[in-house]
Chain A
Amino acid sequence: MPSENAHIRNFSIIAHIDHGKSTLADRLLEKTGTVNDRQKQAQFLDNMDIERERGITIKAQTVRMHYKALDGKDYVLNLIDTPGHVDFAYEVSRSLAACEGALLVVDATQGVEAQTLANVYMAMEHDLEIIPVINKIDLPSADVERTLNEIEDVIGLDSSTAVPVSAKEGVNIDKLLEAVVKLIPPPAGSKDDPLKALVFDSWYDNYRGVVMLVRVVDGEVKIGQKIKLWSNGKTFEVQELGVIAPFPTAVKSLMAGEVGIFVANVKELADAKVGDTITDAERPTAAPFPDFKEVQPMVFSGVFPVDAADYDNLRDALTKLRLNDSAFTWEPETSTALGFGFRCGFLGLLHMEIVQERLEREYNLNLISTAPSVVYKVFPHGKEAIFIDNPSKLPPTQNIEHLEEPYLICHIHVPNDHLGSILKLCQDRRGIQKGLEYLGTTGTRCRVTYEMPLAEVVFDFFDKMKSISRGYASLDYELGGYKEADLVKLDILINGEIVDALSIIVHKDRAYLRGREVCEKLKAVIHKQMFEVAIQAAIGSKIISRETISAVRKNVLAKCYGGDISRKRKLLEKQKEGKKRMKQVGVVELPQEAFLAVLKSEE
């Protein structure tokens, strides 16, 4: 074991939502004196507003703490916080790859919940030392014994090293810090080897260009050093190195085992891919980190300004967001119904919602997003296959020889109690069962593997899976290639006109049901108009469903004299404001929700 980094511990925290991850992190920061009372801000690690509100971490965060242990030695503890959603599974795996250990936080009043399982298994795959942390022991309903048993039974983890704590009350935080020092191994790399560092997060800073979070595994990186990014072979000169403790602090070098900020005059976020390997330009390491993959958008959705005048603002906002989020892509799109907008690519639905929310909130834009679509492979007669990510671009059926859609290989961990309903859900979603195995010694949980169309997973599968398993099922997946499918385009007509932005591609067997559902949904979200509105679903020229919204019969103020004018004007202004959030399609005003009406089902 190299002595120079024997004092370093790199670890992350894995927890189910609400089990107290952020509170625990706050306590660790306080106990180690990393933040003082003045700097205290609840949930220190979750910087973005959206993260705080949703209680999730979107970007990885890292913070360095100094801790004097009972053995009298000074330790450096690097806490690497990870995103907590399946959309960001790859980012999680890279963050975990930067650690030697992980704290598994379990709420003693709730027991083990499944959301964390995928991350726990991922941590096990990375051979991390996992310390179970039983949280909320201060609550009367806490059951530490049962929680310990569950950790053994459900996860299959040795619970003898578990530390019971109350993050809220600060109980046993010192014991936990001791456990971190004692149980998590120090980093293994040597300072003298060629530089090998892992990029586990990156973002764009307006003043410094691309900033990366790196974990140095071998060697040492210094300011002025010429480095190479493995994936594209580009070389850069290191300009700035730093640690976050908890505010960025410049350092001259980062050595094997350390975690920190890395700035090297990289201008494009696309050059700083998560998972990439940084090495010395002159004296490269022998091999890069395994498992590097380029993150590809999986779902696409049209994003349009409600007010056409906002088009340029939207483009500027997308350009700026893209600087900070290379996983997200965009290109101009034109819709007959919605005018000029952009086709955007996302990792998944949560990613999509986050980007859209940031556009609306941080850039103050009023947007309409169309239902997400996956990328279909279209084989026209006698021509080469083309990819389409927009249902309205699907060629007429007679021009298509066949269609293929992307599949995922989904692994679902689920307790036996909920297995039946999970199997039914997968079956309903056109899944093909590929495996079923019982896990652990007691066999109370299992892992099922399904090949499932991505489109079905995108279509509220995750939420359904969670709700029918009461949160106990967890999902992780890998890409499973393309497969031929009997797909049709479902068009929606409003007063006889096809609204291209509402078209979706669905499996033929589901078309009628979905057509009816969408019409009903639209009827529920479209306000009564001055005119009768007919909503129809059609496949080709065949109408398969219809709903009618009757016209507003009366909307008028009978009496309007001198004393009424201001009040009346304000009422009308309110009505006018409401209309600003609507998109006029022909004579009909469609609310934003209308374009997502196709997304959720009522099963």
Chain B
Amino acid sequence: MAPRAPLDPLTGLEAARFGVYVHFPYCLSKCPYCDFASTAARTIPDERYTAAILAELEGRLEAQQLTGREVTSIFIGGGTPSLWAPASVAKVLEALRSKLRVAEGCEVTLEANPGASDAGRFADYRAAGVNRLSMGVQSFEASTLATLGRAHDGATAARAFEAARRAGFDNVSMDFIYGVHGQTLAQVESDARRAVALGSEHLSAYALTLDKASLAEEVPLARQLARGEVSLPPDDTVVRMQRVVRDVFAAAGLQRYEISNYAKPGFHSRHNALYWTGGEYLALGTGATGHLRATAPFRYSNQRSAEKYLLEVEAGRWPEASREELSGLELFEERVAMGLRLASGVDLAAVCALFGQDFASRALTVRHLLSAGMAEQREGRLALTDAGFDVHSAIAARLM
């Protein structure tokens, strides 16, 4: 059953308006491209971390007066959340249900690593209230997986998917990476075909990003790239790879609804849609970023070091590393830039009106984009075409 969330009138997308993000930072090993807050740990301080999450939740609910608020999505990301004891996950979800009003049909996602999961665990997660699994497959090809430093192989990934199904997950997503050094167009196509053959409801396919300015932290592959030890495929090739992925996914009934996301009808991620439609999100855990507007709009990010995070929370201190107040202009810019990531597009005139920005001065750019085939009007919204998505940043910077 597909989850439910309210419709965002500016993008026409069903999107959570208030969600909770919980970060679990621990991994068995650290992948060389990953810029998420993660810690490779031999032993995971499961109870200690769970207690910290619950304590942070307590503190934030009180400080932001969020108790009793309706939640339309929950996302447990990482790191490798499938290393988190199902009982602990159950405890966290239970705490959320008791303190907040978790809506009917609320999407509850947990990220799983194919190499660190089994069907028994999945059933327990399912029983705890998780109704969507997002699996970091990345590729089925041994060479690509090796390049990306992934421990699992293609067969393991397929088995993990089947395990999820057996555990009762009828909403499973898989993540893929293309544009990897050494990867061929044929390999990308093969990955896409094997992905759709498994029949998941949702797929994400990301072009490998090693651009320093775009990353949250420096990653080993980016350093290798800078030193000239690896070189990524040319932009033209990466764009061709995206087209192959798009075509294979589309033929299987998964439509591109965001720059890197594809879903069967009704199965797009309500939680991620929240990010692209200016929704609010409470964030808990290491390196987690939240965005709340209860008083003045602001965004905060927690300590990226797991140990530091734990020590701060245990000492009764705020585990934040930074906090940023957001002006009306910044909220506007984000709404435009994020909305343009969506295939449904964004009602630019309405966003301008909502944030008191001038639409007329942007109209000429819109006309240029339309006439150049970079954008289309879809149900009164400005939506980028595939050609437009390729240069989303350049377009967003023009319309912001």
The answer to whether A556 touches B397, judged by C-beta atoms less than 8 angstroms apart, is no
- Given A560-B341, A562-B275, A563-B216, does the pair A555, B391 have CB atoms closer than 8 Å? yes
Mask, A307-332, CB within 8 Å of B = 1, is 00000000000000000000000000
The answer to whether B337 touches A568, judged by C-beta atoms less than 8 angstroms apart, is yes
Q: Which residues of B contact A557 (CB under 8 A)?
A: 209, 214, 392-393
Which listed residue (B272, B299, B397) contacts A579, Cβ 8 A? B397
For residue A601, CB closer than 8 A to chain B, the reply is no
- Given A554-B235, A554-B238, A572-B397, does the pair A562, B290 have CB atoms closer than 8 Å? yes
Which listed residue (A552, A559, A560, A567) contacts B394, Cβ 8 A? A552
Taken together as a complex, chains A and B put the C-alpha atoms of A568 and B236 apart, in Å, by 23
Q: Which of B260, B272, B394 has the most CB of A within 10 A?
A: B394
The smallest C-beta distance from A501 to any residue of chain B, in angstroms, reads 19
Interface residues of B in 269-317 (CB under 8 A from A): 272, 275-276, 281, 283, 287-291, 299, 301
For residue B390, CB closer than 8 A to chain A, the reply is yes
For residue B206, CB closer than 8 A to chain A, the reply is yes
Taken together as a complex, chains A and B put the C-alpha atoms of A106 and B21 apart, in Å, by 73
- Given A558-B259, A561-B275, A562-B281, does the pair A572, B396 have CB atoms closer than 8 Å? yes
Q: Which residues of B contact A556 (CB under 8 A)?
A: 207, 259, 389-393
Q: Which residues of B contact A579 (CB under 8 A)?
A: 397-398
The answer to whether A553 touches B235, judged by C-beta atoms less than 8 angstroms apart, is yes
For residue A460, CB closer than 8 A to chain B, the reply is no
For residue B213, CB closer than 8 A to chain A, the reply is yes
Taken together as a complex, chains A and B put the C-alpha atoms of A573 and B45 apart, in Å, by 40
Taken together as a complex, chains A and B put the C-alpha atoms of A432 and B33 apart, in Å, by 67
Which listed residue (B260, B334, B400) contacts A565, Cβ 8 A? B334
The answer to whether B333 touches A554, judged by C-beta atoms less than 8 angstroms apart, is no
The answer to whether B324 touches A566, judged by C-beta atoms less than 8 angstroms apart, is yes
The answer to whether B291 touches A565, judged by C-beta atoms less than 8 angstroms apart, is yes
Taken together as a complex, chains A and B put the C-alpha atoms of A170 and B129 apart, in Å, by 85
Q: Which residues of B contact A567 (CB under 8 A)?
A: 214, 216
- Given A554-B390, A566-B324, does the pair A531, B372 have CB atoms closer than 8 Å? yes
The answer to whether A569 touches B337, judged by C-beta atoms less than 8 angstroms apart, is yes
Look across to chain A and name the residue whose beta carbon is closest to the beta carbon of B258: A560
For residue A283, CB closer than 8 A to chain B, the reply is no
Q: Which residues of A contact B260 (CB under 8 A)?
A: 558-559
Q: Which residues of A contact B214 (CB under 8 A)?
A: 557, 567-568, 571
Q: Which residues of A contact B47 (CB under 8 A)?
A: none
Taken together as a complex, chains A and B put the C-alpha atoms of A7 and B125 apart, in Å, by 102
Q: Which of B36, B338, B341, B391 has the most CB of A within 10 A?
A: B391
Look across to chain A and name the residue whose beta carbon is closest to the beta carbon of B214: A557
For residue A525, CB closer than 8 A to chain B, the reply is no
Count A-B contacts at CB 8 Å. 105
The smallest C-beta distance from B18 to any residue of chain A, in angstroms, reads 13
Q: Which residues of A contact B289 (CB under 8 A)?
A: 562-563, 565-566
Interface residues of A in 554-597 (CB under 8 A from B): 554-569, 571-573, 575-576, 579, 584, 587
Taken together as a complex, chains A and B put the C-alpha atoms of A575 and B236 apart, in Å, by 22
The answer to whether A530 touches B391, judged by C-beta atoms less than 8 angstroms apart, is yes
Q: Which residues of A contact B391 (CB under 8 A)?
A: 530, 552, 554-556
The answer to whether A562 touches B400, judged by C-beta atoms less than 8 angstroms apart, is no
Interface residues of A in 536-564 (CB under 8 A from B): 552-564
Look across to chain A and name the residue whose beta carbon is closest to the beta carbon of B387: A530
The smallest C-beta distance from A300 to any residue of chain B, in angstroms, reads 30
The answer to whether B393 touches A571, judged by C-beta atoms less than 8 angstroms apart, is yes
- Given A556-B391, A557-B393, does the pair A569, B330 have CB atoms closer than 8 Å? yes
Q: Which of B208, B236, B364, B390 has the most CB of A within 10 A?
A: B390
Q: Which residues of B contact A566 (CB under 8 A)?
A: 289, 299, 324
Interface residues of B in 215-232 (CB under 8 A from A): 216
Q: Which residues of A contact B288 (CB under 8 A)?
A: 562-563
Which listed residue (A531, A563, A568) contacts B287, Cβ 8 A? A563
For residue B92, CB closer than 8 A to chain A, the reply is no
The smallest C-beta distance from B8 to any residue of chain A, in angstroms, reads 16
Q: Which of A556, A575, A576 has the most CB of B within 10 A?
A: A556
- Given A556-B259, A564-B216, does the pair A576, B400 have CB atoms closer than 8 Å? yes
Look across to chain A and name the residue whose beta carbon is closest to the beta carbon of B299: A566
The smallest C-beta distance from A583 to any residue of chain B, in angstroms, reads 13
Q: Which residues of B contact A530 (CB under 8 A)?
A: 372, 374, 391, 394-395
The smallest C-beta distance from B32 to any residue of chain A, in angstroms, reads 16
Q: Which residues of B contact A555 (CB under 8 A)?
A: 390-394
Which listed residue (A553, A554, A572, A584) contacts B400, Cβ 8 A? A572
Q: Which residues of A contact B330 (CB under 8 A)?
A: 569
Q: Which residues of A contact B207 (CB under 8 A)?
A: 554, 556, 558
The answer to whether A561 touches B272, judged by C-beta atoms less than 8 angstroms apart, is yes
Q: Which of A553, A563, A579 has the most CB of B within 10 A?
A: A563
Taken together as a complex, chains A and B put the C-alpha atoms of A563 and B216 apart, in Å, by 8
The smallest C-beta distance from A585 to any residue of chain B, in angstroms, reads 12
Taken together as a complex, chains A and B put the C-alpha atoms of A584 and B367 apart, in Å, by 14
The answer to whether B393 touches A572, judged by C-beta atoms less than 8 angstroms apart, is yes
Taken together as a complex, chains A and B put the C-alpha atoms of A554 and B397 apart, in Å, by 14
Taken together as a complex, chains A and B put the C-alpha atoms of A568 and B395 apart, in Å, by 13
For residue B239, CB closer than 8 A to chain A, the reply is yes
The answer to whether A569 touches B372, judged by C-beta atoms less than 8 angstroms apart, is no
For residue B368, CB closer than 8 A to chain A, the reply is yes
The smallest C-beta distance from A534 to any residue of chain B, in angstroms, reads 14
Q: Which residues of B contact A587 (CB under 8 A)?
A: 368, 372
The answer to whether A569 touches B333, judged by C-beta atoms less than 8 angstroms apart, is yes
The answer to whether B333 touches A562, judged by C-beta atoms less than 8 angstroms apart, is no
The smallest C-beta distance from B363 to any residue of chain A, in angstroms, reads 13
Taken together as a complex, chains A and B put the C-alpha atoms of A569 and B337 apart, in Å, by 8
Taken together as a complex, chains A and B put the C-alpha atoms of A566 and B326 apart, in Å, by 9
Residues of B within 8 A of A (CB): 21, 36, 206-209, 213-214, 216, 235-236, 238-239, 259-260, 272, 275-276, 281, 283, 287-291, 299, 301, 324, 330, 333-334, 337-338, 341, 364, 368, 372, 374, 389-398, 400
Pairs of residues from A and B, 5 with the lowest C-beta to C-beta distance, nearest first: A575-B397, A563-B289, A553-B235, A554-B235, A558-B206
Q: List 21 A-B contacts (CB under 8 A).
A: A530-B394, A530-B395, A554-B239, A554-B390, A555-B391, A556-B207, A558-B260, A559-B260, A561-B275, A562-B281, A563-B36, A563-B288, A563-B289, A565-B275, A565-B291, A566-B299, A568-B337, A571-B213, A572-B393, A575-B393, A575-B397
Q: A560-B275, A561-B272, A566-B289 are in contact. List 7 more A-B contacts (CB 8 A).
A: A530-B395, A555-B392, A557-B393, A562-B21, A563-B289, A571-B213, A572-B393
